[in-house]
């Protein structure tokens, strides 16, 4: 169920049931959906309707629902729950999800809830890691075996454990000090003879990360090696937990959103943490004002350039007609290059040390693209004005601006990355403003030369 109309229909059915006092019916309508769809429908209800509906769900259903919701939505949903019920919910939730929720509670409430939890020892180790690290993403729900465990013992253990939350595609093999020494896939476990020990079938070439590794780096590793889970270890390689792929999908979504917002000149922290309709006007203004002010100030550079070349504009008024075309073409070419270079940086296909090679490649591409576009511009302007000098000026300028834009846009993200600055922060609107101003200088300089020579 992914159709918004279907969501609205379910919401109306739930509201009608609540108005008629049929609380069990309202709960039934919600539970008929997949947990991800339950979260979508639940968020469409008013706060009052949520407060009435949530207590009607059992602990397991509530936990499934909360695990599909955003952190701020979860915090708001559980606000009215008693400490005892909240503790039961946290025991039912996956440890990493429970740790995220506890981390958002006040210190006093977190202490009270932890004191009443039965499985607090599964969550406590996770609370000491920053949210944006591998330790903050990992769950302590994993299966670790010793090297001399036989296949028959491992299978019996799995049957006894009966894991129903995360499918254990891999079992981890550790030594006496809990250091990770290998992994065993379920397929190898099932086809092995009963007496085969883990040591004989384990894969010692384990890809892992340390707990302090940035979440974006962990995501890159999982995507690069097609991993469904990624073990997390400490400095002595003791197994602490595992990161599951569903958590990495959330990381990739957040990182992509953050990069997109920064390239648009918007402070992303407030936007990422608050749904659109819950953002107050002052939050919207705050997230956009600083960059708009900076771009406004740098935009005066364009006005200064126009003022400096006022004489050329007065002599050849037709030059002004093509200013939007030229700076727009330069900005678009620059944005294309920036997007490709930032993508290559994110995928580790290029490094800051490759700046000269990237510049040379993009400069060649810019020259070829500019020449092609310049030829089209020359023909179009000449057909419109029958002025060979104007057509030549615009055509050559297009070639020069596209080459220049590609060259600058290829280097700036790499330089920013080399200096430890997020390239998405300075590679968006600021680059466009820079290319606009310098593009005008190129345009009017070429116009002055061409009109004085011809």
Name the pLDDT band for 427 (thresholds 50, 70, 90): low
Buried b (16+ CB within 10 A) or exposed e, 396-417: bbbbbbbbbbbbbbbbbbbebb
CATH of the domain at 328: 1.10.357.20
* pLDDT score at 349: 83
What is the CA 88 to chain-centroid distance, rounded? Answer: 31
Average pLDDT over residues 392-404: 92
Average pLDDT over residues 209-222: 88
Tokens coding 375: 């030829």
Average pLDDT over residues 200-212: 92
pLDDT tens per residue, range 260-296:
555 555 555 555 555 545 656 555 556 555 554 555 5
Q: Which of 179, 187, 231, 186 is nearest to 210 (CA)?
A: 231
Task: Work out the mean pLDDT of the chain and round it to a whole number.
Answer: 80
Tokens coding 162: 């009966």
Mode of pairing for the β-strands spanning 180-185 and 144-146: unpaired
Do 190 and 154 touch, CB atoms closer than 8 A? no
Choose between 270 and 361: higher pLDDT.
Answer: 361
Answer whether residue 257 is part of any domain.
no
* pLDDT score at 71: 75
Answer whether residue 239 is part of any domain.
yes
Pair 327, 419 in one domain: yes
Do 143 and 168 touch, CB atoms closer than 8 A? yes
Mode of pairing for the β-strands spanning 144-146 and 170-174: parallel
Which of 37-51, 140-154, 324-338 has maximum average pLDDT? 140-154
Counting runs of H as helices and runs of E as strands, what totals does the chain give?
Answer: 24, 6
Select from 130, 160, 192 the last residue of a domain: 130
Answer whether residue 266 is part of any domain.
no
Answer whether residue 262 is part of any domain.
no
pLDDT tens per residue, range 52-64:
888 888 888 888 8
Do 170 and 145 touch, CB atoms closer than 8 A? no
Instruction: Inform me whether the pLDDT recorded for 118 exceeds 60.
Output: yes
* pLDDT score at 198: 93
* pLDDT score at 430: 66
Answer whether residue 187 is part of any domain.
yes
| DSSP class per residue in 362-429 | HHHHHHHHHHHHHHHHHHHHHHHH--HHHHHHHHHHHHHHHHHHHHHHHHHHHHHHHTT--HHHHSSH
> pTM for the whole thing?
0.58
**Structural domain for 71, as ranges:** 4-130
User: CA–CA distance from 334 to each of 330, 339, 375, 403, 418 (Å)?
Assistant: 6, 9, 19, 9, 20
Pair 385, 326 in one domain: yes
* pLDDT score at 428: 62
User: CA–CA distance from 54 to each of 73, 83, 86, 181 (Å)?
Assistant: 13, 15, 12, 44
Pair 230, 295 in one domain: no
* pLDDT score at 129: 86
> What DSSP designation does 176 have?
T
Contacts of 394 (CB under 8 A, 6+ apart): 322, 325, 326, 377, 378, 381
Which of 2-11, 104-113, 424-433 has maximum average pLDDT? 104-113
SS3 232: strand
Pair 185, 85 in one domain: no
Pair 198, 151 in one domain: yes
What is the CA 340 to chain-centroid distance, rounded? Answer: 17
pLDDT tens per residue, range 245-259:
877 777 766 666 666
Do 161 and 221 touch, CB atoms closer than 8 A? no
Choose between 330 and 426: higher pLDDT.
Answer: 330
CATH of the domain at 228: 3.10.580.10
For the chain, the C-alpha Rg in angstroms (whole number) is 30
Structural domains in the chain (count)? 3
Instruction: Inform me whether the pLDDT recorded for 211 exceeds 60.
Output: yes
Pair 368, 449 in one domain: yes
Select from 99, 130, 161 the last residue of a domain: 130
Share of the chain above pLDDT 70, in %: 81
Range of lowest pLDDT (87-91, 133-137, 444-448) = 444-448
Name the pLDDT band for 137 (thresholds 50, 70, 90): confident
pLDDT tens per residue, range 308-322:
666 655 555 667 777
Answer whether residue 332 is part of any domain.
yes
Neighbours of 8 (CB within 10 A): 12
Answer whether residue 271 is part of any domain.
no
Pair 316, 203 in one domain: no
Pair 242, 385 in one domain: no
Pair 366, 393 in one domain: yes
Name the pLDDT band for 400 (thresholds 50, 70, 90): very high
Which of 40-44, 196-200, 423-427 has maximum average pLDDT? 196-200
Pair 104, 175 in one domain: no
Pair 297, 238 in one domain: no
Do 233 and 241 touch, CB atoms closer than 8 A? no
Pair 22, 93 in one domain: yes
Burial (CB count within 10 angstroms: exposed 0-12, middle 13-18, buried 19+), residue 236? exposed
> What DSSP designation does 321 have?
G
Name the one residue in this structure whose structure tokens are 């109309």. Answer: 5
Do 223 and 217 touch, CB atoms closer than 8 A? no
Answer whether residue 381 is part of any domain.
yes
pLDDT tens per residue, range 155-203:
888 888 766 555 557 889 999 999 999 999 888 888 899 999 999 999 9
* pLDDT score at 126: 84
Neighbours of 163 (CB within 10 A): 11
Query: CA-CA distance, 452 to 67, in Å (whole number)?
Result: 71
Query: CA-CA distance, 361 to 239, in Å (whole number)?
Result: 44
């Amino acid at each position: 169920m992914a159709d918004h109309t279907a969501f609205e229909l379910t919401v109306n059915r739930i509201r009608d049931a609540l108005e008629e006092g049929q609380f069990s019916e309202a709960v039934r309508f919600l539970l008929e959906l997949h947990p991800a769809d339950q979260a979508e429908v639940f968020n469409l209800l008013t706060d009052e309707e949520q407060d009435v509906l949530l207590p009607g769900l059992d602990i397991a259903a509530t936990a499934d629902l909360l695990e599909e919701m955003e952190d701020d939505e979860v915090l708001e949903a559980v606000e009215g729950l008693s400490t005892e019920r909240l503790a039961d919910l946290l025991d039912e939730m996956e440890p990493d999800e429970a740790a995220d929720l506890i981390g958002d509670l006040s210190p006093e409430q977190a202490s009270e809830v932890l004191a009443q939890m039965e499985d607090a020892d599964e969550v406590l180790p996770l609370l000491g890691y920053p949210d944006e690290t591998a330790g903050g993403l990992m769950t302590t729900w994993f299966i670790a075996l010793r090297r001399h465990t036989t296949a028959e013992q491992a299978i019996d253990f799995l049957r006894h454990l009966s894991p129903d939350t995360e499918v254990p595609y891999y079992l981890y093999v550790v030594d006496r000090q809990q250091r990770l020494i290998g992994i065993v896939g379920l397929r190898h476990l099932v086809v092995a003879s009963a007496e085969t020990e883990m040591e004989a079938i384990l894969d010692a070439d384990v890809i892992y990360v340390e707990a302090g590794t940035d979440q974006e780096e962990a995501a890159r590793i999982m995507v690069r090696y097609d991993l469904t889970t990624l073990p997390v270890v400490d400095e002595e390689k003791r197994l602490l937990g595992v990161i599951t792929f569903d958590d990495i999908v959330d990381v990739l979504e957040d990182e992509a959103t953050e990069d997109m917002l920064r390239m648009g000149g918007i402070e992303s922290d407030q936007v990422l943490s608050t749904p659109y309709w819950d953002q107050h006007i002052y939050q919207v203004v705050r997230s956009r004002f600083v960059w708009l002010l900076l771009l406004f100030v740098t935009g005066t550079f364009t006005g200064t350039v126009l003022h400096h070349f006022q004489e050329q504009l007065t002599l050849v008024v037709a030059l002004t007609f093509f200013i939007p075309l030229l700076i727009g073409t330069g900005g678009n070419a620059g944005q294309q290059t920036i997007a490709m270079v930032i993508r290559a940086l994110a995928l580790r296909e290029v490094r800051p040390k490759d700046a000269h090679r990237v510049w040379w490649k993009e400069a060649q591409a810019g020259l070829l693209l500019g020449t092609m576009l310049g030829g089209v511009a020359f023909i179009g302007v000449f057909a419109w004005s029958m002025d060979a000098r104007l057509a030549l000026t615009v055509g050559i300028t297009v070639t020069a601006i596209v080459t220049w834009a590609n060259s600058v846009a290829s280097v700036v993200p790499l330089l920013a990355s080399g200096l430890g600055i997020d390239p998405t922060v300075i590679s968006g609107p600021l680059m466009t403003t820079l290319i606009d101003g310098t593009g005008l200088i190129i345009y009017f300089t070429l116009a002055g030369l061409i009109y004085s020579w011809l």
